[in-house]
């Protein structure tokens, strides 16, 4: 059952990450268009520039769980890289339980009022001609935290499974009366 939960959470993170990765192509094309319009046709647009900002935020915030799932996040691994798989799993469980989950839960909690206030007024860009969707951009904060919580729990469960399976494979010493006089 735990394996199914882990696979389900990792599948969500995987497909979200793959879809979000395509936004980088859109961001690059949009940036090229902005440069072409600005220097080729002397035309500037705040909305287009903010669109790149929005796409960048979506790539970063919606891709965080995918990056975490694939263990591609930033890690200070002075000691970690030399650990056995079981010790790495233990470090990952401790990190998930004592650092990742409290941080993400607290950030999700703190962002609720911030995002709610933005939605109440349907906050728009302070720039003239900017995008009227700042409230949607701010909504990415709790969405990121929720996706990291789901992926964090899956990672903790997966690493607990590694620890438990390594304990099951440890040969136990048996005592016999042979040779005892």
The CA-CA-CA angle for residues 87, 88, 89, to 5°, reads: 90
pLDDT exceeds 90 at position 32: yes
In this predicted structure, what is the pLDDT of residue 11? Answer: 92
Measured between alpha carbons, how far is residue 109 from residues 101, 102, 106, 113, 156 in Å?
A: 12, 10, 5, 8, 21
The mean per-residue pLDDT over the stretch 40-50 comes to 94
CB atoms within 10 A of CB 8: 12
In this predicted structure, what is the pLDDT of residue 170? Answer: 62
In this predicted structure, what is the pLDDT of residue 174? Answer: 47
Query: pLDDT tens-digit profile of 88-138?
Result: 999 999 999 999 999 999 999 999 999 999 999 999 999 999 999 999 999
Q: How many residues does the chain have?
A: 181
Share of the chain above pLDDT 90, in %: 74
Query: How does the average pLDDT of the chain come out, rounded?
Result: 89
pLDDT exceeds 70 at position 5: yes
**HSE-up (13 A, CA, CB side) for residue 144:** 24
Decide: 92 and 159 in contact? Cβ < 8 Å.
Answer: yes
What is the C-alpha to C-alpha distance for residues 119 and 115, in angstroms, rounded to an integer?
Answer: 6
pLDDT band with cut points at 50, 70 and 90 for residue 175:
very low
In this predicted structure, what is the pLDDT of residue 171? Answer: 55
């Amino acid at each position: 059952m735990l394996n199914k939960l882990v696979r389900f959470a990792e599948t969500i993170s995987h497909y979200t990450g793959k879809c979000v990765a395509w936004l980088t192509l859109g961001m690059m094309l949009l940036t090229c268009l902005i440069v072409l319009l600005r220097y080729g046709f002397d035309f500037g647009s705040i909305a287009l520039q903010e669109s790149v900002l929005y796409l960048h935020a979506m790539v970063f915030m919606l891709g965080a769980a995918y990056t975490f799932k694939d263990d591609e996040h930033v890690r200070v691994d002075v000691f970690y890289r030399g650990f056995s798989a079981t010790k790495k799993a233990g470090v990952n469980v401790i990190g998930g339980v004592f650092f990742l989950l409290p941080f993400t839960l607290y950030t999700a909690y703190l962002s609720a009022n911030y995002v709610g206030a933005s939605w109440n007024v349907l906050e728009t860009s302070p720039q003239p001609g900017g995008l009227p969707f700042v409230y949607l951009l701010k909504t990415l904060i709790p969405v990121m935290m929720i996706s990291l919580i789901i992926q964090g729990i899956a990672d903790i469960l997966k690493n607990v499974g590694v620890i438990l399976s390594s304990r099951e494979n440890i040969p136990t010493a048996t005592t016999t009366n042979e040779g005892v006089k």
